[in-house]
Structure 1
Amino acid sequence: MKISELRRQVPMWPAQILDTLADERTWVQDGGSMFLQSDRTEGLRLTASIPISHDQIPTAAQRFLGAEAKVVQHISSDPVADDATESNLRITAEIPGAPIDVQVDTSLLRAPDDVTALHARITIECPLPLVGPMIESSAQPYIESMISQGFDKLSDPEV
């Protein structure tokens, strides 16, 4: 198991961040799709699928995942009011065809300087005996990069 952390500050309220995730346009701009089960006022529940570009796939995994590689994310949170100053967000992700599971637990905490601090704890697991740790280590920089790019889009919607 590999564990890492990412932090960002986003000029949005927690509710705005969750609403952005629940907006189909967020996913379509990257060639993805999204199925919304419930919005943030009921407790966010959605599944999103986004393609993975060839350069984001470790060389050793490219032949297993093929040209149609994608990440399927299941995103959830507890109900969050418009003026809530904190929230927690959970993402479980899978890459069909890859023996790897990813979980991202993110806290959203509104700071006094008009930003929300995002703190993500990323857990990467591969259940394969003997080679699991090697696969986790190989995948870690790619997964961190994808999550970091997603956070950057929240910080600057023009990215």
Structure 2
Amino acid sequence: MKRSELRRQMPMRPAQILDFFADEQTWVQDGGSMLLQSGRTDGLRLTASIPISRDQIPTAAQRFLGAEATIVQHISSEPVADDATESNLRITAEIPGAPINVQVDTSLLRVNDDVTALHARITIDCPLPLVGPMIESSAQPYVESMIAQGFDRLSAS
């Protein structure tokens, strides 16, 4: 199991960050799709699928996947009001056909009226005996890069 952390500050409130994830356009612009089960005020629950280009997949994992690799993310949070000062967001992700699971637990803490601090704790797990740690290590930079790019895009929105 590999663990790492990412931190960012966003020019948004926690509720706005969760609404960004619940917006279908967030996923469609990457060629993906999203199924929203419940929104932020009821406790965010959604499943999103987005295609992954081959250059985002570690070489060791490419042989497990076909030409159409997809990442499936299950995203959830507790109910959050518009003026909330904090929240937690959980993302569990998988790539069907790849022996790897990713969990991202993110705390959102409002620093001031216009800024929220994000602290993401990332866990990467591959259950395969003997080769699991190698796959986890090779996947770690790709996973961190995808999460960082998502945070950066969130910051730019």
Q: TM-score, normalised by structure 1?
A: 0.96
Q: What is the aligned-residue identity percentage? A: 86
**1:155 is matched by which residue type in structure 2?**
S
State the alpha-carbon separation in 2 of the partners of residues 67 and 28 from structure 1: 20
Q: CA RMSD in A?
A: 0.9
In the other structure, the counterpart of 1:13 is 13
User: C-alpha deviations, 1:2-47, integer Å up to 9, x for none?
Assistant: 0000011110100000001000000000000000000000000000
Q: Structure 2: any 5+ residue segments left out of the alignment?
A: none
Is the CA contact (8 Å cut-off) linking 2:99 and 2:128 kept in structure 1?
A: yes
**1:101 is matched by which residue type in structure 2?**
N
Partner-residue secondary structure (3-state), 1:104 = strand
Partner-residue secondary structure (3-state), 1:65 = coil
In the alignment, does 2:105 pair up with 1:105?
yes
Q: Structure 1: any 5+ residue segments left out of the alignment?
A: none
Alpha-carbon shift at residue 61 of structure 1 (Å): 1.9
List structure 1 runs of 4+ shifted beyond 3 angstroms.
Answer: none
**1:97 is matched by which residue type in structure 2?**
G
In the other structure, the counterpart of 1:87 is 87
Alpha-carbon shift at residue 113 of structure 1 (Å): 6.3
Is the CA contact (8 Å cut-off) linking 2:60 and 2:138 kept in structure 1?
A: no
Total equivalences in the alignment: 157
State the alpha-carbon separation in 2 of the partners of residues 144 and 12 from structure 1: 22
Partner-residue secondary structure (3-state), 2:112 = coil
User: C-alpha deviations, 1:101-155, integer Å up to 9, x for none?
Assistant: 1000000000026210000000000111111100100100000011010000111
State the alpha-carbon separation in 2 of the partners of residues 26 and 63 from structure 1: 29
In the other structure, the counterpart of 2:140 is 140
User: C-alpha deviations, 1:80-100, integer Å up to 9, x for none?
Assistant: 000001000000000101101
